[in-house]
Structure 1
Amino acid sequence: MREDSLGSHGSMDKLLEMSVEDIEEARSSKQSALTVVEDSKLTELFDKVLLLDCKSDLQVIEEGESVSSKPQVTKKEGGRTKKKSQTFDFRTLLTLCAQSISARDKITADDLLRQIRKQCTPLGDASQRLAYFFANALQARLEGSSGSTITSYYDSIASKKRTAAQTLKSYHVFLYVSPFMTLMYFYSNKMILDAAKDASVLHVIDFGILYEYIKKQDRATEATDNGVEIPQNGFYPMQRIEDMCRRLTEYCKQFGVPFEYNTIASRNWETIRLEEFKIRPNKVLAVNTALRLKNVRDVTPGGEEDCPRDRFLKLIRDMKPDVFLSSTVNGSFNALFFTTRFKEALFHYSLLLDMFGATLSKENPERIHLEGEFYRREVMKMIACERVDRVERPETYKQWQVRMMRDGFKQKPVEAELVESIRVKMKKWGYHKDFVLDEYSNWFLQGWKGRILFSSSCWIFS
């Protein structure tokens, strides 16, 4: 489990209510521009993200506008100017390369990588960026799928230090151009508030806490939060978690909400003991695992009878929560065979990069940061690594549904009226027409161009 995936820049339990009208108000103006943010203004940027102030004047792509502001690259042939072909088939070449690596055909794989690298670039269109990230991951796998080789490739990505302010600014842009995280947490928050409507005390256990959305309620409810996160590397492993604790305490004090915060740092969440959460009776208990179940391993090197994923769900079941909120990345990247999961990952990330290409300019610095810092890391870990080194293991929402029902959880329905009202609001907020919002089999689904990318659901213990 890693805190560096884009989906994990999100484990944000909204302890306090955020209404649809609040989101609409945040998106209704583009007048205030984000300027270069220094570390001294970090608190101001936290306000923008935590309080969902998404007003910004970004380099967005409006309807009918060209994706690139730069002219097409041209070349002369026979005295005539000719546009450079945009039909280079990266997907086919990347898939053939993955198949060659799986068959241990290094000569063919090297030749295919050379062809891909001649055309791909991290600053090109969506397909060129996709090819660049996947070619790097395939190159790393070709040279060794574990150990020092992978570490050196990963360190080359992680070594590009960026401040917390730069990361927050990029995340702010992501919230503005994409509804995925906003609607995911709006849905989760509504389910929590429905369960706690008559409660005086609310206890939220949030697995994977990084940024929190906060909005004042009309009534004062005492709140307790357990923030569970991976300790960061270095001399101060708890610093990031403690900083979040301090900020949440300050916000709740500002809103007049009695608040208690407890932190748990662990790299293996399935091994946390139940008593560490300090669950007391007479509280409404909500558990939230936004976009982080994909990082819980489903196999163990020693071949234990119960896999970590099942032990983690048992831990949640033993808590007897009033509601269990689960938001997942919808993808089959956890397949047994490498080529199968490679094709699934290729399709998934091609849609995400296409989404950015349709909503942000090529030169947008936050887009470059988001793609390079987060998606590139995820692809590297997913394609280049095996066994315990492979920490990106998404499954489809249908697979999760089977697993959770087998473990004794009962799914709560998604109100069709809620989905339709949000769909209408999305058009008013100005999100791109190709975003998908739907309800199916008690799942709240979001996607792009007909493909479901993220899924959310609410569970109780039956």
Structure 2
Amino acid sequence: MRCAETVSMNDTNAAIDMIKQIRKQASHVGDGIQRLACILADGLEARLSGTGSAIYRQLAAKRISATDYLKAYHLGMSITPIMRVAYHFANKNILSIAGNAPKIHIVDFGISFGFQWPSLIQFLAKMKYEPPRIRITGVDLPQPGFHPAERIIETGKRLEDYAREFEVPFEYHGIASQWESICIEDLCINDDEVLIVNSMFNLSQLRSSPSLEKNKSRNELFNLIRAIKPKVFIQGIFNFSFSPFFVPRFRMVLLEYFRFFDMLDTLVPRNSNQRFLIETEFFRPPIINQIACEGSDWVVTPETYKKCHTRNLEIGFEQLPVDPSIVKECSEILRNDYDERYFIEEDCNWFLQGWKGSIIYAVSLWKPQVE
């Protein structure tokens, strides 16, 4: 914290000395706080030298293979219930809301590698009656380089193969684009389908701040969702919020991300390659962005669920209640398969998950208000 304060005052020599002292005590193979300290020191050094934006762009441009991503995902699913339970909660609500509809269209903002959808395909395959036809429109940001849509296309092929294996009628359409630039025509909405909009833990990529201009991209996306009138909009978020001012923002980054590093340190051996992959490929880029970037280059801006709740109401959404039976199923998964320090609770119809008393993830259901 003293180093962050020194960096904020542009006291270069004193900050460099402190970073050297931090690096002597930090370690990429140490305990949780030592590993986090390595990344925090990188962020402070990048901010001090003015190279934060360039470093973040380089990290963001790095392509992680589906194989490596799957290894990290499997580790995450084995030690933490967060993604597994969140996907179960979302998918069971999709099935409940769709009912016996013969056709379902899911628009997934931030589909990435599409790991949410195999479990839904399995649920559909186990139905007593003929499974409905499912169409997924996967939306994600373009990848840097010569093949911006490569990952989203490969995701579609894997899901098509999976659905074919389980004999579930399936169709996929991928869109690699800035989300706020998408129009209704791009989504190919059909009146004979139950329309679901899904976005799990990816809306922090859209700027939201007191500035109207910086809030524009998130508002445009939400206006699009309202315009297509889905049966439900399933929203999953990281329960973080960071100050626009550097020193308090640095303090919150330290505290919030320590939860993840503590979780890994408690449950995963320190020599695990998958753990190192998670720490460097998934946590390092957003930490660097939040510490070393400002203005339009500061792009990772999550919100707390309470702030998100207020904004959703203001922009014209109505919240749907949480189904107690689905919450009970999620609680059983947690109790049977995971460490007792994880917890589930509800607040204002938000489905919350956390670790050691701190809320980390939140999921809720929304629909456009009737005008």
In the TM superposition, what whole-angstrom CA distance separates every residue of 1:17-53 from its partner, at most 9, and x where no partner exists? xxxxxxxxxxxxxxxxxxxxxxxxxxxxxxxxxxxxx
Which whole-Å CA distance do the structure 1 matches of 2:69 and 2:202 have between them? 19
Distance 1:157 1:296 in 2: 18
Task: Summarize the Cα distance change of 1:261–1:296 in structure 2 as closer, same or farther, 3 Å threshold.
Answer: same
Q: Please, which of 198, 212, 231 is the counterpart of residue 322 of structure 1?
A: 231
Amino acid at match of 1:316: I
Q: Is residue 275 of structure 2 the alignment partner of residue 364 of structure 1?
A: no
Q: Check whether the contact 2:334–2:342 (CA below 8 A) recurs between aligned residues.
A: no
Return the TM-score normalized by structure 1. Answer: 0.74
> Quick one: which amino acid aligns to residue 7 of structure 2?
I
Please point out which of 159, 166, 170 is paired with 1:259.
170
1:338 Cα deviation after fit: 1.5
Aligned-partner Cα distance in 2 for 1:220–1:247 = 19
The answer to whether structure 1 residue 101 and structure 2 residue 12 are counterparts is no
Give the residue type in structure 2 aligned to 1:282.
Answer: D
Question: CA separation in 2, counterparts of 1:423 and 1:260?
Answer: 32
The offset of 1:270, in angstroms, is 1.1
The structure-2 alpha-carbon separation of the partners of 1:135 and 1:401, relative to structure 1 and needing over 3 Å to count, comes to same
Query: Do structure 1's residue 238 and structure 2's residue 149 form an aligned pair?
Result: yes
Change in Cα spacing, 1:163 to 1:325, as seen in structure 2 (3 Å) is closer
Q: 1:307 aligns with which of 202, 209, 216?
A: 216
**Rg larger for:** 1
Alignment partner of 1:444 out of 351, 358, 367: 351
106, 126, 133: which one pairs with 2:32? 126
Match 1:336 to one of 244, 247, 261:
244
Amino acid in structure 1 at the alignment position of 2:138: G
Which residue in the other structure is 2:110 paired with?
208
Cα separation, 1, equivalents of 2:186 and 2:290: 32
Q: CA deviation at 1:159?
A: 8.7
| 1:351 matches 2:253 | no
- Structure 1 segment 77-156 matched on structure 2, within 5 A: 95-144=1-50, 149-150=51-52, 153-154=55-56
Aligned to 1:36: none
Question: Once superposed, what is the RMSD of the aligned Cα atoms?
Answer: 2.1
Equivalent residue of 2:208, what SS?
coil
Structure whose residues are more often helix by fraction: 2
* CA distance in structure 2 between the partners assigned to 1:99 and 1:306 by the alignment: 28
Does the 8 Å CA contact 2:85/2:333 hold for their aligned counterparts? no
- Give the conservation status (yes or no) of the 8 Å contact 2:61–2:144: no
Superimposed CA distance per residue, residues 72-125 of structure 1 (whole angstroms, 9 cap, x where no aligned partner): xxxxxxxxxxxxxxxxxxxxxxx2211222222323322321221110011100
- Counterpart Cα distance in 2 of 1:159 and 1:258: 35
* C-alpha distance after superposition, 1:138-173 (max 9, x if no partner): 1100111xxxx2355347757987643222112111
Which of 186, 190, 203 is residue 280 of structure 1 equivalent to? 190
Q: Which amino acid aligns with 2:86?
A: M
Give the secondary structure class of the aligned counterpart of 1:220: coil
Q: Distance in 2 between matches of 1:458 and 1:356?
A: 29
Alpha-carbon contact 2:92-2:326 (below 8 Å) kept: no
Pair 1:419 & 2:321 matched: no
Q: Distance in 2 between matches of 1:140 and 1:132?
A: 12
Q: Distance in 1 between matches of 2:179 and 2:310?
A: 21
Amino acid corresponding to residue 80 of structure 2 in structure 1: S
What pairs with 1:180-195 in structure 2 (closer than 5 Å)?
180-195=82-97
- Post-superposition CA distance 1:302-328 (Å, at most 9, x none): x64961111111111101000000000
Aligned amino acid, residue 274 of structure 2: E
Comparing 346-355 with 103-112, which one deviates more in the overlay? 103-112
* 2:207/2:214 contact within 8 Å kept: no
Distance in 2 (CA, whole Å) between partners of 1:241 and 1:160 is: 16
Partner of 2:207 in structure 1?
297
TM-score norm. by structure 2 comes to 0.91
Q: Which runs of 5+ in 1 are unaligned?
A: 1-94
**Range with bigger deviation, 215-224 or 135-144:** 215-224
Partner-residue secondary structure (3-state), 2:198: strand
* Letter paired with 1:298: S
- The residue type equivalent to 1:269 in the other structure is W
Tell me, in whole angstroms, the C-alpha distance in 2 between the residues paired with 1:421 and 1:242: 33
Contact 2:232/2:365, CA 8 A, preserved across alignment: yes
Q: What displacement does 1:383 show? A: 0.9
Q: How many residues align?
A: 360
Residue identity over aligned pairs, in percent, reads 38
Give the corresponding residue for 1:397.
305
